[in-house]
Amino acid sequence: MAAVKSAVDDALSESAPAPRAARGRARLDVPLVVAYSGGRDSSALLSLACALRDARAPGFGRPHAVHVHHGLHPDADSWVEHCQRQCTALSVELTVRRVRVERRGLGVEAAAREVRYQALAEAARELGAAAVLTAHHLDDRLETFLLQWIRGAGLDGLSTMAQQRDFDAAADRAAIALLRPLLHVPRERIERYIQQKTLEFIEDPGNSDPRFDRSAIRLRVMPELARLRSGFRAAAERSIELIAEGADALRSVAREDLRACTRDAPASMLRIDRLAQLPEARRMLVLREWLAQAGLPAPPRARLREALQQAIHAGADARLLIRIGEHELRRHRGLLCLNAPRRNAPALHALQWQGEPELAVPSWGGTLVFTRTSDEGFDARWLGAEPLELRPRTGGERFKPHPTRPSKRLKQIFQEARIPEYERSALPLVWREGRLIYVAGVGPDTRMLVAEGERVRIDWVGATRLLRD
């Protein structure tokens, strides 16, 4: 990031010479995605990227513009045409991604931003780019700080934009870097560059509409702050950096506390006894970090307080259910559990096993896995001779999971296995010719197992964990 910022600073400066070519051959085959709306700021950024390309600055060998068409403005198609003309003039490849903005409880601006970042990440992934540049500048950062402040945001919200962060990360692939090389640059400096280079750009009428909070802050509040105190932008930037440092420090504390609260606990669960030992403020931090690591936005502060109050102080037999979006926060045997949305269990799903290592069952949201074993297991020929049926519980089923113990009602077996009541409806029962032979989360009925011949073990792989015998 430091090298990109320095290169952009050199290219943006009116007095500095053009960046010198790097020694050796610059890599021209790796694209660098530039988020390009066609507006003032992104036009300046794309021009800077091209200037650095022409100067053979490292990392800028192949800028590639990506324009996200939201379809929210009647002139959106003409904006695409403008971007195509400008990219042709700059000898830059352009990718246009058309998206659909669905609010899903968000404001239009937030929903558009979410889908825009997703589109940029997808385009970068397809192009083989490792980074995406956006044109956010210092005034954007200050406006966002003020917006978050009047909305009552916490430290994470007030620290606003970072100069660099990863997005589109996944366990099986490298994250793409989101870089904001202009974040320290005030708007007026970008405007001077636009005038100096006589760049053409689109003027979004929404940017000057005071009915929008951000526009009102830009048009009314920021000029007044500049009149009250010259140089306030640099001072405010220092404050935001200090807030960001404080947020990072608290996040480190929260992660350490979270590790302590999840140690020896099943996945997606917190130990309530350890959570209760923490000061109240740190409990809130742990809960927020836990939800963040699960990819969920934290609910309002009052909801978090309610969840902590019920989890820690309610009676042992009291039931906890707090909805966070489509997820559920529940308590079970001294654990705080975060559960994904549950669908109604299908009535019945029939399948025929013919020796496959696994059979996906989309209607149940999981997969049956069949593993050859030298231990006791189902006779392979017997298992494949008749269809198998996946059914939900209906009540009264009896099962024998232990060879030396009598059969029991399935409800009692679930209780002994400490499977929460709210999870049981999502666990399929496997039947063969009217006999219950396997229960997901528990294992096989031992009366159905053999110790000779070709044998197979059954496992159920659900959405979040492996339930095996």
Q: What is the pLDDT of residues 408-459, one digit of tens each?
A: 999 898 888 877 776 777 789 999 999 999 999 899 999 999 999 999 999 9
Look at residues 428, 440, 445 and name the one whose alpha carbon lies nearest to residue 468. Answer: 440
Which residue in this structure is represented by tokens 């074993």? 373
- Give the rounded percent of residues in the chain with a pLDDT score beyond 70: 88
Is residue 344's pLDDT more than 60? no
Is residue 104's pLDDT more than 90? no
Q: How far apart are CA 190 and CA 181, in angstroms?
A: 12
Whether the CB-CB separation of 376 and 451 falls below 8 Å is answered with: yes
Q: pLDDT tens across 285-330, in order?
A: 999 999 888 878 777 888 888 888 888 887 655 567 777 767 778 8
In which band, very low, low, confident or very high, does the pLDDT at 334 lie, cut at 50, 70 and 90? Answer: confident
pLDDT of residue 21: 45
The helix or strand, by DSSP H or E, that contains position 250, with its residue range, turns out to be helix 232-262
- Residue 310 tokens read as 């019920």
So what CATH class is 235-339?
mainly alpha
In which band, very low, low, confident or very high, does the pLDDT at 342 lie, cut at 50, 70 and 90? Answer: low
> Does the global pTM surpass 0.85?
no
- Residue 229 tokens read as 């105190």
Is residue 466's pLDDT more than 50? no
pLDDT of residue 44: 97
pLDDT of residue 225: 95
Residue length, the chain? 469
Q: How far apart are CA 379 and CA 355, in angstroms?
A: 12
CATH no. for 2-228: 3.40.50.620
Whether the CB-CB separation of 288 and 338 falls below 8 Å is answered with: no
pLDDT of residue 156: 86
Identity (one letter) of the amino acid at 450? Answer: V
- According to DSSP, residue 298 is labeled -
- Give the rounded percent of residues in the chain with a pLDDT score beyond 90: 53
Domain boundaries, the chain: 2-228, 235-339, 349-468
pLDDT of residue 368: 93
In which band, very low, low, confident or very high, does the pLDDT at 102 lie, cut at 50, 70 and 90? Answer: confident
